[in-house]
């Protein structure tokens, strides 16, 4: 809930009943006073939040991503029904079913879970998923998911920056988790969590060993895990993680949980085993799916007692679950995102293409070792949309570009890509990809000032935060 200047709770309701996106869409505001009396004022309203940036600038893309995820969910439902397997909605998927009757507006994630016995049966049914469908498991793909699996559409793209070095399928997907038994004894439970963490770190080291460090592990510990991971090999590590996940009180255990998330061995999402029995049928978009028994208590424990309230978020950078493209395979993106300098063609000269500030970052960080012949400005965000941006400071900070030749976008179209190799330095990865496709260049790398930017919902917000960090935005008094 949001509080107005009188410290009264405000509930904002959109004309279509969904989560709000812009103050222009507000139909009414209900002021709820301390004595619960309600007074309703009709809109639309001039509201302070209309001046904020919208977090869901990618809403049209997300809408199409969700359509693909729902298709994957239907496919999973068909296979599970044919084989007598039962899955439950969990996390935000369960919350969406209860609060919205389907996907939470603006969300890009679907999560389901199966009891271990059914989960093991599902893993054996990979042949049921053919064509665009791919049931991704540790046994049929190089990707690591900490002991859970994904159902992917392999004709699409959902690239995550941590996988840019891994040879794995990265189409749009949904998450499928096993529900395992836990230990009532706190010491045994702590040992179980420690074992899971140990094997997860080994898996990270095996799959993402090219990284200099990873997550919470300092350099020396990371190196130790990488060495041990090579000695043991992926298959032994996968089996060890599987045993650790399955361990628990076999008889009369009232404790179950989803143990596959990497939590540094400190906790797991646990609950009463009684919650996952026959379940409660509930509509999720156009499907009737199972919610856990006592789902209200599970939602309260995870999201708090006010889980039915709509969150009011704007001017917030949302991290998506991948760099999305619903029309192209991840393979088209992946070769441009890897960005190993050691993989640069030896017979080509580097050139820089993209946003001025990021081309300047390349010159500052990489120019001495990997010199660029010239640069071409091709902005992927509108600097004029960033309120308070001081262009003079932008030019001063990027004056390092004066050290190399500047060319035009027309020159870029005429370039001989048998001789030059572009580094694309952009805030907006999708626009950068489209730009290079337009000029007919198929051989290039993205330069990652921050690789996680590829998953951010609004590149303009990224640019704004970057400019603020650089001290280029005049703050309001």
- Tell me the pLDDT tens digit for each residue of 37-81: 444 444 443 333 322 334 467 888 999 999 999 999 999 999 999
Where in the chain are the domains?
2-51, 52-327, 339-469
Per the CB < 8 A criterion, the answer to whether 359 and 422 are in contact is: no
- Tell me the pLDDT tens digit for each residue of 433-456: 999 999 999 999 999 888 888 888
Q: At how many degrees (to 10) do helices 59-82 and 116-123 cross?
A: 100
Q: How confident is the model at residue 477 (pLDDT cuts 50, 70, 90)?
A: low
Q: What whole-number distance in Å separates Cα of residue 135 and Cα of residue 306?
A: 36
DSSP state of 104: P
Q: Cα dist. 100→19, 24, 317 in Å?
A: 9, 21, 23
Q: Cα dist. 376→94, 332, 361 in Å?
A: 48, 23, 14
DSSP state of 389: B
Q: What is the pTM of this model?
A: 0.84
| Res 309 pLDDT > 90 | no
Q: How confident is the model at residue 351 (pLDDT cuts 50, 70, 90)?
A: very high
Nearest to 339 by CA among 254, 422, 227, 229: 422
Per the CB < 8 A criterion, the answer to whether 20 and 14 are in contact is: yes
- The predicted pLDDT at position 8 comes to 41
Q: For domain 339-469, give the fold.
A: Rossmann fold (3.40.50)
């Amino acid at each position: 809930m949001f509080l107005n200047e009188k410290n009264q709770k405000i509930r904002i309701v959109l004309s279509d009943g969904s989560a709000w996106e812009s103050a222009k869409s507000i139909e009414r505001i209900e002021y709820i006073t301390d004595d619960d009396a309600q007074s309703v004022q009709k809109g639309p309203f001039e509201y302070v939040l209309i001046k904020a940036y919208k977090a869901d600038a990618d809403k049209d893309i997300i809408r199409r991503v969700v359509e693909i995820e729902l298709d994957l969910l239907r496919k999973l439902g068909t296979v599970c029904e044919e084989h007598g397997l039962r899955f439950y909605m969990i996390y935000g998927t369960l919350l969406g079913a209860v609060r919205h009757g389907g996907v939470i507006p603006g969300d890009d994630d679907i999560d389901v879970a199966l009891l271990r016995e059914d989960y093991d049966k599902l893993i054996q049914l990979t042949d049921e998923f053919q064509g665009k469908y791919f049931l991704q498991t540790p046994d049929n793909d190089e990707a690591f998911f900490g002991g859970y699996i994904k159902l992917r559409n392999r004709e699409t793209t959902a690239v995550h920056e941590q996988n840019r070095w891994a040879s794995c399928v990265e189409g749009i997907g949904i998450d499928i988790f096993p529900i395992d038994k836990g230990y009532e004894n706190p010491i045994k439970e702590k040992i179980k969590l420690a074992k899971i963490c140990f094997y997860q770190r080994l898996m990270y080291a095996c799959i993402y060993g090219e990284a200099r460090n990873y997550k919470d592990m300092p350099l020396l510990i990371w190196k130790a895990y990488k060495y041990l991971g090579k000695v043991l090999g992926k298959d032994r590590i996968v089996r060890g993680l599987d045993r650790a996940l399955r361990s628990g009180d076999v008889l009369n255990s009232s404790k179950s949980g989803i143990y596959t998330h990497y939590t540094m061995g400190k906790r797991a999402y646990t609950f009463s085993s009684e919650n996952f029995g026959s379940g409660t049928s509930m509509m999720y978009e156009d499907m009737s799916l199972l919610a856990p028994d006592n789902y209200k208590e599970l939602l309260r424990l995870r999201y708090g007692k006010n889980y039915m309230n709509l969150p009011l978020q704007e001017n917030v950078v949302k991290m998506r679950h991948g760099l999305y493209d619903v029309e192209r395979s991840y393979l088209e993106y992946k070769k441009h995102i890897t960005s190993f300098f050691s993989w640069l063609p030896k017979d080509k000269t580097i050139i820089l293409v993209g946003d001025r500030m990021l081309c300047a970052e390349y010159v500052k960080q990489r120019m001495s070792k990997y010199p660029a012949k010239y640069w071409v400005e091709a902005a992927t965000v509108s600097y004029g949309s960033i309120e308070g941006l001081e262009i003079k400071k932008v030019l001063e900070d990027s004056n390092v570009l004066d050290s190399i030749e500047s060319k035009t976008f027309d020159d870029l179209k005429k370039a001989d890509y048998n001789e030059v190799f572009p580094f694309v330095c952009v805030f907006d990865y999708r626009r950068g990809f489209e730009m290079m496709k337009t000029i007919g260049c198929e051989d290039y790398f993205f330069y990652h000032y921050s690789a996680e930017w590829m998953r951010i919902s609004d590149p303009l917000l990224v640019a704004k935060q970057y400019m603020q960090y650089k001290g280029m935005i005049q703050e309001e008094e």
